[in-house]
């Protein structure tokens, strides 16, 4: 089954608005693989302006980096899913490892965020993954299985089709450890089989699963060649237009 190729760039808390505009202009002007869906998860302050720039650019879309689990209320500083939907932002990242670690977001809270986002008409990029301690105990597959069960598996078949799963091997991000393409493939294949068991094989084969473990231009081609890897959730490398364009153009040709 042919699945959508995805290059998602997570800018995190980086770039001023002017810097973001320059980066997007460079991406728009570049020669890119037209079969790749490119998603930019930019700071909230950039969304409205950048949406106007890319509105007619086909497979270039925006994502918010987070949302609240309620649509309104006394939650100072938060952004609701309905607010994002009202400005036509199609995607939102939920469950990123940094939100789990620094903002103490657990599986139940993330379940609420996924529910709220989908109810508002957004599509979700749901992050899962294990840290070094879990990896060393060889319980990484079980750990991810629990994350998916507790946050996603209450969704029905129609709803899960609006979720992209992003696997983040947290132990391979900024630790000096390196995840091999084979390790990425192992987890992606395991996630695909989990989805197939929970829903059905057709859903499992169709769902997009992207890799978020320090993807760079130097390793993207090998990672993206793995049969169950549908692309990447790219961090720092997405802030360099030239490198991110190389990543976008790293997918193997369609057979």
Annotated catalytic sites, by residue? 96, 168
Block residue for tokens 């008409």: 121
* Angle between helices 217-224 and 181-198 in degrees, nearest 10: 50
Query: Residue 242 is encoded by which pair of tokens?
Result: 């030239």
DSSP label of 253: P
Residue 61: phi, psi to the nearest 5? -130, 165
* Angle between helices 217-224 and 241-248 in degrees, nearest 10: 20
Which own/partner pairs from 217-226 qualify as long-range (CB within 8 Å, at least 24 positions apart)? 217/243, 217/246, 217/247, 217/250, 219/181, 220/246, 220/247, 220/250, 221/250, 221/252, 222/181, 223/181, 223/184, 224/5, 224/250, 224/251, 224/252, 225/181, 225/252, 226/181, 226/182, 226/184, 226/185, 226/188
CA distance 157 to 203: 8
Cβ-count burial 109-132 (b if 16+ within 10 Å, e if not): bbbebbbbbbebebbbbbbbbbbe
């Amino acid at each position: 089954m042919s699945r959508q190729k995805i290059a998602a760039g997570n800018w995190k808390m980086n770039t001023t608005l002017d810097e973001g505009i320059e980066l997007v202009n460079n991406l728009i002007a570049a020669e890119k693989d037209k079969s790749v869906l490119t998603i930019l998860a930019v700071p909230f302050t950039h969304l409205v302006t950048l949406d106007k720039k890319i509105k007619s650019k086909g497979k270039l879309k925006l994502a918010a980096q987070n949302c609240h689990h309620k649509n309104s209320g006394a939650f100072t500083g938060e952004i609701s899913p309905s607010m994002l939907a009202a400005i036509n932002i199609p995607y939102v990242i939920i469950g990123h490892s940094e939100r789990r670690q620094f903002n103490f977001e657990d599986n139940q809270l993330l379940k609420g965020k996924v529910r709220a986002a989908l109810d508002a008409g957004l599509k979700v990029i749901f992050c899962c993954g294990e840290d070094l301690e879990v990896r060393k105990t060889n319980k990484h597959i079980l750990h991810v299985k629990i994350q998916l069960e507790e946050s996603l598996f209450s969704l029905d078949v129609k709803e899960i089709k609006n979720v992209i799963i992003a696997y983040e091997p947290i132990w391979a991000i900024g630790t000096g450890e390196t995840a091999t393409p084979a390790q990425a493939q192992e987890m992606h294949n395991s996630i695909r089989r989990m989805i197939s068991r929970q829903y059905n094989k057709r859903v499992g084969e169709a769902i997009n699963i992207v890799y978020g473990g320090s993807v760079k231009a130097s390793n993207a081609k090998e990672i993206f060649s793995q049969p169950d890897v549908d692309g990447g959730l790219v961090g720092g490398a997405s802030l360099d237009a030239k490198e991110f364009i190389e990543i976008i153009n790293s997918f193997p040709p369609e057979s």
